[in-house]
Amino acid sequence: MDRFVIQGPTRLEGQLAVGGAKNAVLPLMAAALLSRGESVIDNVPDLQDVRFFMTILEGLGARCQLEFNRLRIDTTDLDSHEAPYDLVRKMRASIYVLGPLLARRGEARVSLPGGCAFGPRPVDLHQKGMRALGAAVDEEHGYIVARAPGGLQGGRFRFDPVSVGATCNVLMAAVLARGESRLENCAIEPEVTQLVAALVRAGARIEGVGTRTLQVQGVDSLKPLDDAVIPDRIEAGTYLAAAAVAGGRVHLEGVRQDHMAPVVAVLRDLGCDISEQGDGLTCERRGKLQPVRVETQPYPGFPTDMQAQVMAAAALADGVSFITDTIYPDRFTHAAEMVRLGANIEVKNGTATIIGTERLQAAPVMASDLRASAALVLAATAAHGITEVRRVYHIDRGYQSIEERLAALGARITRQSE
């Protein structure tokens, strides 16, 4: 297992190009199952989660090739409808194959994803949504077994709460269902909207792109996808937050300003200077950080996937910050690790109270999930001394070569194999 060794404190200075969004490419990869032939997806980041999803698709009989950020998925020889436990337990997003398999093959067997490092993550809406489209859905021996032997039938479904994954999954099933479907209270995260737009380009008939109500007229078949993944707003936000935590100036190229607005607003509240130029975004922190009040919300609210990184900045702010995660009230495993770095954080009832400190100190810490790990790496760049961040495989799932990118900005970080 690899770990990062980080010597702090360092200021960060320089520029980076943002990669394609992990959470956008995964549903697109699943959507490739909806058609027969070769889908081509560009701007695909070479991440562990992407490689992993390729394994799932290959297990279903698809052929996948990722070269120079272009991913080809050939579904001509699809011959299975099962996503087994050993794969699904490693990546929850595997559940994305449920809708496409059910729609295309009339049957899907997908292992229940099970627990998660940051608390319960139910998949009931995915199942209820498939039922609303006429499928029989049962849980058998740890598997979701969904059947629609005569094909899916259009239906009406309301997501409550708003769910990125369930919106994508049920929509992918609905586009090939007979007749009309109405999906209400849909997620409008940019990653979801990218999927909706990609399906429309492939021949799906969907009205309401980018809104909370999607009206779908089922079609008999779709063309393979031909798309390019949107920039990763969370990767971008993480490197901007790095400038806030460590101090300095980080310029990013290739962002979507509209997608960055909720994160930019909080970075400004923290006291950072943010400037926008075309698809470039610069974050500069000169003076002290200011305390913030942050509440995570579905898009266009502040993303739960940036909560931990902002906490690393709040740990060094001049005052008391409050961070509430309304999406995942238990997503605070990073708080206890940050305390090991000298941060002053108390978590109660889904809210972290962070009393800012002047100085963080190095300590060995352990990564528990993707964003928590990234936040620990940021905190370590500001901490005095040598910090070891263990279990960095979590980070590799969603950040391409984070240590090389931070090193290019001046961080003193190396990867070591244990």
Contact set with ligand EPU (CB under 6 A): 23, 26, 93, 121-126, 161, 163-166, 187, 303-305, 327-328, 370-371, 398
Dihedral pair phi/psi, residue 209, rounded to 5°:
-50, 125
From the candidates 64, 116, 168, 186, give the one annotated as an active-site residue. Answer: 116
Half-sphere exposure of 257 (CA within 13 A, CB side): 10
The pair of structure tokens assigned to 232 is 């990763």
Of 18 and 289, nearer to ligand EPU (C-beta) is 18
Of 120 and 150, nearer to ligand EPU (C-beta) is 120
412, 11 contact by CB (below 8 A)? no
416, 23 contact by CB (below 8 A)? no
Query: How deeply is 23 buried, as exposed, middle or buried, from its count of CB atoms within 10 A (0-12, 13-18, 19+)?
Result: buried
User: How near is the Cβ of 142 to ligand EPU at its closest, in Å?
Assistant: 17
Which residue sits closest to ligand EPU, CB atoms considered?
165
User: How near is the Cβ of 398 to ligand EPU at its closest, in Å?
Assistant: 6
Of 360 and 370, nearer to ligand EPU (C-beta) is 370
User: How near is the Cβ of 36 to ligand EPU at its closest, in Å?
Assistant: 25
The pair of structure tokens assigned to 248 is 């300095």
121, 330 contact by CB (below 8 A)? no
Of 260 and 362, nearer to ligand EPU (C-beta) is 260
User: How near is the Cβ of 397 to ligand EPU at its closest, in Å?
Assistant: 8
The pair of structure tokens assigned to 53 is 């999803």
The pair of structure tokens assigned to 279 is 């698809």
- The rounded distance, in Å, linking the Cα atoms of 242 and 310 is 9
Of 305 and 396, nearer to ligand EPU (C-beta) is 305
**116 has catalytic annotation:** yes
Q: Dump strand ranges (E) for 247-325.
A: 248-253, 273-277, 280-285, 293-296, 320-325
User: How near is the Cβ of 13 to ligand EPU at its closest, in Å?
Assistant: 27
Dihedral pair phi/psi, residue 189, rounded to 5°:
-55, 145
User: How near is the Cβ of 119 to ligand EPU at its closest, in Å?
Assistant: 8
Q: Nearest-5° angle of CA 240, CA 244, CA 247?
A: 115
Q: Could you tell me the CA-to-CA distances from 154 to 76, 103, 189, 194 in Å, in that order?
A: 26, 11, 24, 22
Of 45 and 356, nearer to ligand EPU (C-beta) is 45
Dihedral pair phi/psi, residue 48, rounded to 5°:
-55, -40
- The rounded distance, in Å, linking the Cα atoms of 100 and 96 is 8
Which residues are the active-site residues? Answer: 116
